[in-house]
Structure 1
Amino acid sequence: MPSLKTMVIGCVDPRVDPNAVLGIAPGEVGTLRNVGGRVTPGLLREMVMLREVVRAGGGDLGPGWEIVVLHHTDCGITRLEGRPELLSGFFEVDRDRPAGQAVGDPRAAVAHDVAVLRADTRLPGLRASGLVYDVATGLVESVVAP
């Protein structure tokens, strides 16, 4: 189990290794990564599955746990903003609805994803927050407080 009772949701971009960006030592946090670091229905299903894995081992991924959504500037997913056929499948929304996912703006995307996490009733008791890492400056901005 992660010693800090924290999960980080981040992008697969190799420039944005959550441990390096956040100064985290191995074993301190769990990390889930996908394209854009987005909270998608698939990622939520994975988190529910992970919660059951933790419970099967005698623990609980619930109250006292922190979920950190870590997005970054210059993310490749922003280049797909005009590709609703790809984004609608990724986010599991109607083809005319990917614009609501805030793909072009990492700060808006973090706020959106934290709201999705907080609204999901399958993961009660988790605290969620959101950060944006600037790949040009190396600075991390808090966008949504826990």
Structure 2
Amino acid sequence: MTDDMNFLLERNRTFARTDAKARAPQIPFVPNEQLYVITCVDPRVDPADILGLQLGDAIVARNVGGRITPALLQDLAWISYLHETKTPDADWFQIAVIHHTDCGSGLFADDNLRHAFAARGFNESELSGLAVLDPAQTVRTDVATLLTYPNLSPRVRVSGYAYDIVTGLLTEVVPARARADADTTVG
């Protein structure tokens, strides 16, 4: 590993010489695939690779564990609002929540580690809720949160998936449904 970031600048110059930028939607935009992916920051779970996405295909939000947090809910509310007000006639997007096996967020379940980290000014009970030990279960929880979130347009569809780090396979856990059509129980 080098501190020199010139290799990234060179990769960017190579990218800039391509026509890939032409695929990117203009603001106000709806992604080419009408998709909003929420997943983990883990480099083994790059949505562009595991889903075959290209520039402009999806909005991608990544955080530790790919969990639904207050900050993520605010972002989703903003995108949903923009969609309703700026592109109301466009196709509505689907939110795909993806959690994965062998997730580092599972370390939030370690009481000593979590407690020591919380001492840096974080809420320990909130941190314990972020652990992904069973991706299928946490995906169900997060999809249920989205389906009951009042600031998300009822026209948005939400689905949930578990990604297996070993096999590379994505498994549907919660089929897509519109918030307007969903009951509060998931999977």
**Taking structure 2 as the reference length, what is the TM-score of the superposition?**
0.65
Aligned to 2:174: 144
Matched, 1:135 2:179: no
1:49 to 78, 90, 94: 78
2:146 to 100, 117, 138: 117
Mapping 1:53-92, distance limit 5 Å: 53-54=82-83, 58-60=86-88, 64-82=92-110, 83=114, 86=118
Instruction: State the AA in 2 paired with 1:19.
Output: A
Structure 1: gaps spanning 5 or more residues: none
Aligned to 1:12: 41
Moved over 2 A (4+): 49-56, 82-86, 94-103
2:60 to 16, 21, 31: 31
User: How many angstroms apart in 2 are the aligned matches of 1:136 and 1:75?
Assistant: 12
> 1:102 touches 1:112 (CA, 8 Å); kept in 2?
no
% same residue: 40
Aligned length: 140
User: How many angstroms apart in 1 are the aligned matches of 2:56 and 2:170?
Assistant: 21
Aligned residues: CA RMSD:
2.7
Shift of 1:51: 3.1
Tell me the SS of whatever aligns to 1:128: strand
Per-residue deviation, residues 68-91 of structure 1 (Å, max 9, x unmatched): 0011111100011132674xx87x
Larger radius of gyration: 2
> 2:146 touches 2:158 (CA, 8 Å); kept in 1?
yes
User: How many angstroms apart in 2 are the aligned matches of 1:31 and 1:24?
Assistant: 10
Shift of 1:28: 1.1
Shift of 1:20: 0.9
Shift of 1:50: 2.8
Aligned to 2:16: none
